[in-house]
Structure 1
Amino acid sequence: MKVPYYYERKGRAYWEPRGKVPPGFAARPLGPAGDEARMVAAKLYNAMWKARRGGAGDEQDNKPKYPKGSIGEAWELYRRTPEWPKKQPRTREEWDRVWARLEAVFGDQKPKTVTLIDVSEWRQLVEETVSLREAHRCIKIWRALWQVMAAMKYCDAENDPSFGVRNTEPAPRSQEWQLAEIVRIGKRAWREGYKGLAAVLAVMWDGMMSPVDARTIKPAHRIRHGNLQAFAITRGKTGALAYAPITRRAAKVMDAYLADRKVVDLERPLFRTRRDSDYRKNSLAEDFRDIRNLVYPGDTRTLTDIRRSGALEASAGEVDPKALSDVMGNTLAQSKALQRTYTPAQIATASTVPEARRRGRRARSANESSP
């Protein structure tokens, strides 16, 4: 009997639906291949067929009632605690994303019934159908969730079945941009009418911002100290305070962008699309890809590579670790807690980073040109 979305690999069976999948019908392992697994897949297909057409079914409910003592019940209880809102928005987004994959396989199971084989097969399925990076993220969140469930007395913290799973981490990205390349893309964006994108690129490059930090900065975040300028931002991922320095070149681009726009709402994101809507994650990435492909056809570098490029320049220029930490909003410098206590981040400190990056560009250029 041929069942849609039923597959067998190396003696194991999997349910892998395609297209728009209703809640509760995500891909999952079905155990050893055979008639029993095929029957389970057939039931899943029939239920999904009904759900797509508005039929009744427990798995169709967007808010299923999980069995008592199950992982799903623990998840719902945890999300109702005061601890959940304390997580940074980006972190909550990451947990929700993994839960969509985890719930379909383990949502109605009790933690003690999950075995190492179950977790290993789930991770392997995600790696094969999505990516190694997503599989690594799934195990990372699983382990964090297990500790939460242990604190809620659903399981034993020391008996996490994922401890026996090797969570191979994908190789970190190593691509980088050069200043001249970003300037060229920015100029092309301006000529094509993507003035908001051009301003974003100028600010991102100087401030070594992540895309989410750059597209969410507001007029109220801009600060001045004499001739120095910066954006005081809260890092979207960590919640840490950071000071993103702005050089005269970036300030000139930004002021030209704002020249024909009236800033009446200091709490609205500063940079917008050609349609005057706030930049979102997808719209910013799509606009950047459009212009990048015009300037550098076939290039695969992304906006996220800008932040790394700045850090590499600054390191080559022998930047002060404390200044770099103030700009990037992380813990690169040693004795971070003491430095935060006794020497708070100041715009003057952060503004030393652009000069270190200029030194770094000169040093790296000299090394590349030497025989």
Structure 2
Amino acid sequence: MPAIKAAYFADLPPADITLELLDDWYGRLLRVKGVDIAYRAVKTWRSLYNVMAGMKLCPPGSDPSQAIRRQTPPPRHQTWTAGEAVRMVKGAWRAGYRGLACIIAVAWDTSFSPVDVRTLTPAQAMQTAQEWGFPIARSKSGEAAFGTLSSRTQRLVLAYVESLGVTLLDDAPIFRSRGFAPGPKGGRPRAGVPYTKDSLVDDFADLRTLVFGTSEKRRLMDMRRSGAVEANAGGASVEAISAKMGNSIDGNKALQKTYMPVNLAVRSADARAESCFAWNGTNTES
């Protein structure tokens, strides 16, 4: 992509990068890659500028990019219904993505973000007479959050852990990729490993295509928004949702718009219509 390669900055000292250069770079990114990529690129530059200023390569507090009026990408609004989450869990279990099946079920129950679910460890689990829970400090904000698991998800996770055939260390991530078992054509066996950000994205995309086809583009992160929509539809207060999600949604209109979109009533009706479906331990029959 010669139009947006890093020739703008590669041979320049940080202090010599001007607003004109940055504005031209941003404008070309906007035309070639779109609003989202251009927005993220400037965000990355601003973080990098602070690092360079700390290294005394440029004057602190004088980032020329601050004069650029960025276009803000629209917030995501996609949500999943309960029935769709069930189909994903069942499809993942059948296809051998058992760790991913548990991640989806836990994400639906707790409204945790993908990174907070994939990094859960046995040491974080808290069990009472009635339920399991995971008290966490959110990776993104550091805010405290507490997620509880339904009885069906508890059974699913127990069955998964038992199927691993190993004893997990207290600080080891619980959920792992499916690994690889040699088939008729041979190959090298590979055990499942704790999910990384990229491997979770890739496996979820493969599963999504398997269950819903190539036209489906919703992401695992949209489960979190779905939880807020469901809770709000059930009458939960914004303050209670904020406490569960570990963010400042109760005092932030932008977050409320993101997590409680205008199609709330439609999504709620869909969820109620499909509430008869449920995953039940390792029973993956339709």
TM-score range, shorter chain: 0.7 to 0.9
Higher relative contact order (CA 8 A, sep 6+): 2
Looking at CA atoms only, which structure, 1 or 2, has the larger radius of gyration? Answer: 1
Residue of structure 1 aligned with 2:146, choices 243, 253, 264: 243
Q: Within the alignment, does 1:225 sit opposite 2:100 as a pair?
A: no
Give, in whole Å, the separation in 1 of the partners of 2:272 and 2:130: 34
Match of residue 303 from structure 1? 220
CA deviations 1:166-197 (Å, max 9, x no partner) are: 11111111111101001011111111221111
Match of residue 272 from structure 1? 176
How many residue pairs get aligned? The number is 247
Point out the more displaced range, 180-189 or 140-149: 140-149
* Stretches of structure 2 lacking an aligned partner (at least 5 in a row): 180-191, 253-263, 274-286
CA separation of 1:367 and 1:187: change in aligned 2, threshold 3 A: closer
Match of residue 188 from structure 2? none
CA separation of 1:269 and 1:142: change in aligned 2, threshold 3 A: same
- Report if aligned partners of 2:122, 2:174 keep a CA contact under 8 Å in 1: yes
CA deviations 1:135-164 (Å, max 9, x no partner) are: 21232343455566667774263x542233
Residue of structure 1 aligned with 2:205, choices 289, 292, 306: 289
Give, in whole Å, the separation in 2 of the partners of 1:367 and 1:306: 13
Q: Secondary structure of the residue that 1:182 maps to in structure 2?
A: helix
Residue of structure 1 aligned with 2:13, choices 109, 126, 130: 109
- Over the matched positions of the two proteins, sequence identity in percent amounts to 36
Q: Secondary structure of the residue that 1:291 maps to in structure 2?
A: helix
Give, in whole Å, the separation in 1 of the partners of 2:133 and 2:120: 11
Match of residue 196 from structure 1? 99
- Report if aligned partners of 2:14, 2:52 keep a CA contact under 8 Å in 1: no
Give, in whole Å, the separation in 2 of the partners of 1:130 and 1:169: 14
1:135-284 → structure 2 map (5 Å cutoff): 135-146=38-49, 154-155=58-59, 157=61, 159-261=62-164, 262-275=166-179, 276-284=192-200
- Report if aligned partners of 2:26, 2:42 keep a CA contact under 8 Å in 1: yes
- Report if aligned partners of 2:81, 2:270 keep a CA contact under 8 Å in 1: no
Measure how far apart 1:367 and its partner are: 11
Query: Which amino acid in 1 is paired with 2:59?
Result: C
CA deviations 1:69-122 (Å, max 9, x no partner) are: xxxxxxxxxxxxxxxxxxxxxxxxxxxxxxxxxxxx1674243x3332211112
Measure how far apart 1:306 and its partner are: 0.8
1:322-361 → structure 2 map (5 Å cutoff): 322-334=239-251
Match of residue 57 from structure 1? none
Give, in whole Å, the separation in 2 of the partners of 1:146 and 1:362: 44
- Report if aligned partners of 1:123, 1:139 keep a CA contact under 8 Å in 2: yes
- Report if aligned partners of 2:81, 2:267 keep a CA contact under 8 Å in 1: no
Give, in whole Å, the separation in 2 of the partners of 1:224 and 1:235: 20
- Report if aligned partners of 2:82, 2:271 keep a CA contact under 8 Å in 1: no
Query: Which amino acid in 2 is paired with 1:321?
Result: V
Query: Which amino acid in 2 is paired with 1:140?
Result: K
Measure how far apart 1:278 and its partner are: 1.1
- Report if aligned partners of 1:177, 1:305 keep a CA contact under 8 Å in 2: yes
Q: Within the alignment, does 1:125 sit opposite 2:28 as a pair?
A: yes
CA separation of 1:256 and 1:148: change in aligned 2, threshold 3 A: closer
- Report if aligned partners of 1:241, 1:329 keep a CA contact under 8 Å in 2: yes
How does the TM-score come out when normalised to structure 1? Answer: 0.59
